[in-house]
Amino acid sequence: MKYVDEFRDPRLIRQASDEIRRLVDPSRPYRIMEVCGGHTHAIYRFALADLLPPNIELVHGPGCPVCVLPMGRIDEGLSLVDEHEAIFTTFGDVMRVPGRHGSPLERQARGAEIRMVYSPLDALKLARERPDRHVVFFAIGFETTAPSTALTLKRARELDVTNFTVFSNHVTIVPAIRAILDSPDMRLDAFIGPGHVSTVIGARPYAFIARDYRKPVVISGFEPLDLLQSIVMILRQLRDGRAEVENQYGRTVPWDGNLPALRALADVFELRPHFEWRGLGFISQSALKLRAEYASWDAEARFAMAGVSVADPKAAQCGEVLKGVLKPHQCKLFGRECTPEMPVGALMVSSEGACAAYFSYVHRRMAAAEQAT
């Protein structure tokens, strides 16, 4: 298959893996954070750890929108179903995320009208087909999906659809990276920069990481060869004492980003003063809310939502895993109380979550290896 097979070519992958072994200094550890959940998934899915020397540690970052969403937001979104008989629409990623009173999927089985959509435009279409009901779109994602929400809102305004609102949980990636860089337990050497987010925002917003914190950033694609090549680029920077933003994913990511998408974002959204991230706490200017012009389509403005804060289950250590302080299997609940089937924390829900990826692709092999020794 074109654009896939080339990037899984065994010969090229071996070359990249050999190059990494040549570049590493065996006397020191390397801690590289892949910011994006899509990368976390790919790293486990393609078993890249098998191809890396043991002193390169990939630390999983906060770039999984479902994982960083506080539980209270799910509860609030679903409260619209109970209190306003709304039809709740969202992406497949959210369907299994646990709220205090069940996940959207569980609520659907109990009869609530909950629809999985592939695009926010499908939610708007549903609202137009069902003028008797209110349709809310539970919007989630980084800058990757936010432009499609923005365009949907523009369309809703043009068509003057009155029975449609968006409950925005869109977040922005750069403040989260800054929070990690400023955190006292920060021990990272470099970053694998997000791929899909960067197709929208470009490479410029990461400049401060190299300039102010002296850490290399390489924006990467999602195939095994992409990720290995990005690690090669990072190791070269570290070897030469450079700290730069480089773009390995040039076939998709323009340096300046996607200007029409950025314009649509700016037209519809503004930054919230602060927003709660699971594990990282409140981060200022890290999330998007609808501008006042769009208040009629803003679920938070229209339904006076209370902003409930729900603590994560006590024993769950999602926060430590999200910050890269703990590996998934080091959490007390991992694989026991918390499994992909019965997730306690969202990192076990999304296939982009570090815990779910580790559980699905690695856990049993590691457990068997430990038993054997």
What's the CA gap between 42 and 84, in Å, rounded? 40
Cβ atoms within 10 Å, residue 159? 12
Per CB under 8 A, the segment of 79-87, 110-118, 263-271, 322-330 that binds another protein is 110-118
What's the CA gap between 102 and 88, in Å, rounded? 14
Task: Kindly state whether residue 252 participates in binding another protein, applying the rule CB under 8 A.
Answer: no
C-alpha distance from residue 55 to each of 18, 71, 112 (Å):
15, 35, 50
Q: Which is nearer to another protein, 237 or 286 (CB)?
A: 286
Which of 6, 14, 85, 207 is the binder for another protein (CB under 8 A)? 14
Task: Kindly state whether residue 251 participates in binding another protein, applying the rule CB under 8 A.
Answer: no
Q: What are the two backbone dihedrals, phi and then psi, of residue 219, each rounded to the nearest 5 degrees?
A: -75, 130
Which of 179, 350, 354, 355 is the binder for another protein (CB under 8 A)? 350
Most distant CA pair in the chain: distance in Å?
67
Which structure tokens are listed for 328? 């998934």
Site for another protein in 25-84 (CB under 8 A): 41, 44-48, 50-51, 65-66
What's the CA gap between 168 and 288, in Å, rounded? 7
Q: Which is nearer to another protein, 311 or 372 (CB)?
A: 372
Per CB under 8 A, the segment of 100-108, 152-160, 183-191, 292-300 that binds another protein is 100-108
What's the CA gap between 30 and 238, in Å, rounded? 10
Q: Which is nearer to another protein, 40 or 237 (CB)?
A: 40
Q: Which of 295, 299, 347 shows the shortest CA–CA distance to 326?
A: 347
Cβ 27 to another protein shortest distance, Å: 26
Which residues are 32's β-sheet partners? 58, 190
Which structure tokens are listed for 159? 């068509």
Q: Which of 77, 93, 68, 138 shows the shortest CA–CA distance to 282?
A: 68
Which of 73, 96, 215, 323 is the binder for another protein (CB under 8 A)? 96
Q: Which is nearer to another protein, 108 or 252 (CB)?
A: 108
What's the CA gap between 71 and 90, in Å, rounded? 15
Cβ 7 to another protein shortest distance, Å: 10
Q: Which is nearer to another protein, 111 or 241 (CB)?
A: 111
State the amino acid at position 93 in one-letter form. D
Q: Which is nearer to another protein, 27 or 371 (CB)?
A: 371
Residues 192 and 220 sit within 8 Å (Cβ to Cβ): yes
Question: Residues binding another protein: what is the number (CB under 8 A)?
Answer: 55
Task: Show the site string, 192-211: x = touches another protein by CB under 8 A, - = not.
Answer: --------------------
DSSP 221: -
Per CB under 8 A, the segment of 1-9, 172-180, 254-262, 286-294 that binds another protein is 1-9
H/E element holding 114?
Answer: strand 114-116
Residues 40 and 258 sit within 8 Å (Cβ to Cβ): no
Task: Show the site string, 131-170: x = touches another protein by CB under 8 A, - = not.
Answer: ---------xxx-xx-------------------------
Site for another protein in 282-341 (CB under 8 A): 340-341
Q: Which of 287, 346, 282 shows the shortest CA–CA distance to 309?
A: 282
Q: Which of 33, 91, 85 shows the shortest CA–CA distance to 57?
A: 33
Which of 224, 257, 319, 328 is the binder for another protein (CB under 8 A)? 224
Per CB under 8 A, the segment of 85-93, 280-288, 306-314, 315-323 that binds another protein is 85-93
Q: Which is nearer to another protein, 297 or 359 (CB)?
A: 359
Q: Which residues bind another protein (CB under 8 A)?
A: 1, 4, 8-10, 13-14, 41, 44-48, 50-51, 65-66, 91-96, 105-106, 108-110, 116-119, 122, 140-142, 144-145, 224, 340-341, 350-352, 359-365, 367-369, 372
